[in-house]
């Protein structure tokens, strides 16, 4: 009879340790997930226009046709709509967050 009373206690300990172990895995997974806009590398940053060089239509006019083909074009400001901070002021914050930090 005494051996039967130990079984629930062992079961309880196994459940508690199992739940505690699962919780830690979730914490580490959430820490690994990126939570902000990735920064561009200094080599791919157009300091003059404040966007990644690889998508800067002012420095590389050959990109314009591609943006227009996708329907991503602001006719009023002659820029991709996805880069036009005049029409979309929230984009300024996005590109500021992408800007490479000094020394990185």
Q: What is the DSSP string of 43-93?
A: GGEETTTTEEGGG-TTT-GGGHHHHHHTT--BTTTTB-GGG-TTT-THHHH
Do 17 and 46 sit in the same domain of this protein?
A: no
What pLDDT, in 10s, does the model give residues 3-47?
556 666 666 566 556 655 554 444 444 455 555 556 667 789 999
Shared domain for 51 and 92, answered yes or no, is: yes
Answer yes or no: is 52 within a domain: yes
What value does the CA radius of gyration of the chain take, rounded to a whole number of Å? 26
- In this structure, the answer to whether residues 24 and 48 fall within a common structural domain is no
60 shares a domain with 26: no
55 in the same domain as 25? no
- Parent domain of 23: 1-33
pLDDT in tens, 55-99: 999 999 999 999 999 999 999 999 999 999 999 999 999 999 999
């Amino acid at each position: 009879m005494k051996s039967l009373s130990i079984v629930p206690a062992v079961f309880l300990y196994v459940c508690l340790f199992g739940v505690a172990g699962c919780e830690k895995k979730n914490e580490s997974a959430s820490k690994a997930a990126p939570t902000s806009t990735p920064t561009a590398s200094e080599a791919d940053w157009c300091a003059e226009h404040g966007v990644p060089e690889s998508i800067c239509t002012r420095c590389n006019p050959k990109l314009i046709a591609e943006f227009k083909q996708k329907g991503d074009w602001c006719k009023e400001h002659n820029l991709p709509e996805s880069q036009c901070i005049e029409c979309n002021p929230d984009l300024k914050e996005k590109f500021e967050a992408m800007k490479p930090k000094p020394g990185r």
